[in-house]
Structure 1
């Protein structure tokens, strides 16, 4: 399979995911916005939109594309078996949990998920086995897999360890020279936060992906194999945890955006005291949010 075909298949399936979160009659975002969100070229976006139109999932009138039918499993394009990395599978799996609020205790249909994510069954089985070592899923006695919750003690320990790692990352970041790429990333992230803040009431679900992008950027300045492994688990829990209490999601995300902006400004000013204070403020609130989520779902 040509690499361009693989990119198109992934982009088209990503576009189906976006459509699945919309209501019938909603207008799709502009092509430029979709290209940025999907991280592909406008050419690929336009080709994917043309397929949506030909499959009678959208109505295309001039620049307006309106959703007229919800995508179904049969609309998805299955990539070649070797085309999906572990990181991409991880991203799709946890985004699925996040977007569709899959609750703890849900049985996982491996055959269905392998078709949905475009990976062979054995690859998905290996991925789930890895998650089981982190205590996020478990194999059922009679076969198959289930999603799990975790204890408040686990959450507290992980939160405290997260603070240690991210404060260390902040200290290293502030020593980097002006030409280092992190400063451009932080300026771009500031703009993204401000853009999302301006339309938050309609797009507050998008904050989780921006939150992951921000924390990943801060942590990227640390080059340590043990830290990287710990950060993977932290990302899975804090950025994709499937038991978030959704009752105040808009308000919580609005507060988190303000905390991120305060933190970013302090780092751009290279003010170590303000940077560490802003980081601690945000990380402590994230800890309390996680614990509240567990209490709501009776895991505390």
Structure 2
């Protein structure tokens, strides 16, 4: 590209590179932070050529469990994989570049969460994201995040979470100011916010569930685009109400704000399912 040239739209880049819009957005944000492009609303202008130091080092070896989870969920959600689909482990092994035995262990973990099931004669099939699954997951999410809020409010002033929340508050305000042009960016900020809240809980028994919750509630923003601007605007206001209550160390308002947002998230997830093949 020539200096001053315009990058294509995110959807075009995602299709051209065969990756999700989330990955494209992350790459664009890095190009913007490295001052290689100027990102203004929908316009992304090349302002200087990349140098070798701008390249990320390629990690050797197979995917980590976290990366495999992300690839698997992206595959389901990007390609509208319906419930009841047989899962070809050998094909996944080639597609994701991981050994068959690692995939078997991964699917066994998902089976404990009710997402997949072993077939009587061998192999696996997808149970899918049903409305019942979404309701159970949402209710469990409320229990975990309310517990996280209560633990967070007991932490000392020097704990890193307080600076994280101040930074997140500013990031929400910044996005709110340009939301009309960059409302697609909310899904990444939503994931970052909820991850920060949950990071204060060090309980090995909820970590696996938290990863699943994060993936489902993050990715449902990718498959349902109806009223996306309005929904994201409402969610930003709810996040800010929640953050301000925590920063004020107000237990009652913090829990009320958490419940308000989590209940609305449950409703939007169920609405997404009803408008999608997974329901």
Match of 1:262 among 232, 238, 241: 241
Which residue number corresponds to residue 81 of structure 1? 61
Describe how 1:1-300 pairs up with structure 2 within 5 A: 19-20=13-14, 33-34=29-30, 63=48, 80-82=60-62, 84-95=63-74, 97=76, 100=78, 102-105=80-83, 113-114=92-93, 117-138=96-117, 147-241=126-220, 244-297=223-276
Q: Is the 8 Å Cα contact of residues 235 and 261 (structure 2) preserved in structure 1?
A: yes
Q: Cα–Cα, structure 1 residues 33 and 81, in superposed 2: closer, same or farther, change >3 Å?
A: closer
After superposing the two structures, state which structure 1 stretch, 284-293 or 107-116, moved more.
107-116
Q: Which segments of 5 or more consecutive residues in structure 1 lack a partner in the other structure?
A: 1-15, 50-59, 66-76
Q: Cα–Cα, structure 1 residues 89 and 138, in superposed 2: closer, same or farther, change >3 Å?
A: same
Q: Is the 8 Å Cα contact of residues 108 and 147 (structure 1) preserved in structure 2?
A: yes
Structure of greater relative contact order (alpha carbons < 8 Å, 6+ residues apart): 2
Q: Cα–Cα, structure 1 residues 79 and 31, in superposed 2: closer, same or farther, change >3 Å?
A: closer
Q: Is the 8 Å Cα contact of residues 191 and 214 (structure 2) preserved in structure 1?
A: yes
Q: Is the 8 Å Cα contact of residues 115 and 129 (structure 2) preserved in structure 1?
A: yes
Which residue number corresponds to residue 53 of structure 2? none
Q: Deviations over 1:239-275 (max 9, x none)?
A: 2348953322332222111111111111112122221
Q: What TM-score, normalized by structure 2, do the two folds share?
A: 0.70
Q: Which segments of 5 or more consecutive residues in structure 2 lack a partner in the other structure?
A: 1-9, 18-23, 38-44, 51-56
Q: Is the 8 Å Cα contact of residues 148 and 198 (structure 2) preserved in structure 1?
A: yes
Q: Cα–Cα, structure 1 residues 224 and 147, in superposed 2: closer, same or farther, change >3 Å?
A: same
Equivalents in 2 of 1:107, 1:201: separation in Å?
41
Q: Is the 8 Å Cα contact of residues 102 and 242 (structure 1) preserved in structure 2?
A: no
Over aligned residue pairs, what C-alpha RMSD do you find? Answer: 4.1
Equivalents in 2 of 1:79, 1:229: separation in Å?
24
Q: What's the CA shift for 1:21?
A: 5.7
Equivalents in 1 of 2:225, 2:125: separation in Å?
21
Q: Cα–Cα, structure 1 residues 31 and 292, in superposed 2: closer, same or farther, change >3 Å?
A: closer
